[in-house]
A = this chain, B = another copy of it.
Amino acid sequence: MRILIVEDDAVLRDGLKVGLAISGFTADAVESCEEANAVLKNHAFDALVLDLMLPDGSGLDVLKSMRERRDDTPVLLLTARDGVADRIAGLDTGADDYLGKPFDLDEVAARLRALVRRAGGRSRTVLEWRHLRLDPSAQLVERGGEPVRLSRREYSILHVLMAHPGRVLSKRQIEEKLYGWQEEVESNAVEVHIHHLRSKLGPGLIETVRGIGYRLGEEA
């Protein structure tokens, strides 16, 4: 899950980035409206954490221009402690949620999970497919009731696949969900993780579509 943080305060920004990473997200960060606009035009994120007060303008303007170009990426606004007016304005501009400062990192993560889930048209957090269960809030995977130990990368890949069961995802798409800008990968890492996933989950689950990518297959 790829998140963009727009926040000028360095302490908050880094805190968010690390906190979200612990919760299993991949977070990139920028610190101004201008940067945010530039980046958003070229990259897709699963969600946005957007501060309202930025050095070169209001986060609302970023939000507004996103919505004007039909970018429906879910947005979580960060507002002042009691800015009710801001919040209402934000929601009506097209924000999906807000959080007053100071905030709890776990709560940010939970709200992001809810946003992403809702954007995907799902109402349940727990993903299920065949005899697999994946619980994002606990970062837990079960296979037929038995817990399976997955590393972070393995978990992330399975998460992406289970979010779109049946759909083919290219290695490129998977990489984009796993890696931020500073950590682009130049190898067959995804293939290797897929290999490990298969050996842990059993065969017949993750199908290869040659030349295209991977998907969770329809049947045994």
Contact = CB atoms under 8 A, between A and B. Distances in A.
Interface string A110-142: 110110001101111100000000000111100
B125 A94 contact: yes
A19 interface: no
Interface stretch (A35-43, A85-93, A175-183): A85-93
Given A67-B123, A96-B123, A151-B210, A113 B91 contact: yes
A83 to B, nearest CB: 11
Contacts of A121: 122
A168 B150 CA distance: 14
A200 interface: no
A106 interface: yes
Contacts of A67: 123-124
A123 B138 contact: no
A9 interface: no
B87 A212 contact: no
B118 A219 contact: no
Nearest to A72: B123
Given A92-B125, A125-B92, A138 B167 contact: yes
A119 B96 CA distance: 10
Contacts of A104: 84, 88
Interface string A31-50: 00000000000000000000
Interface of A: 67, 72, 84, 87-88, 91-97, 104, 106-107, 110-111, 113-114, 118-119, 121-125, 137-140, 147, 151-152, 166-168, 209-212, 215, 218-219
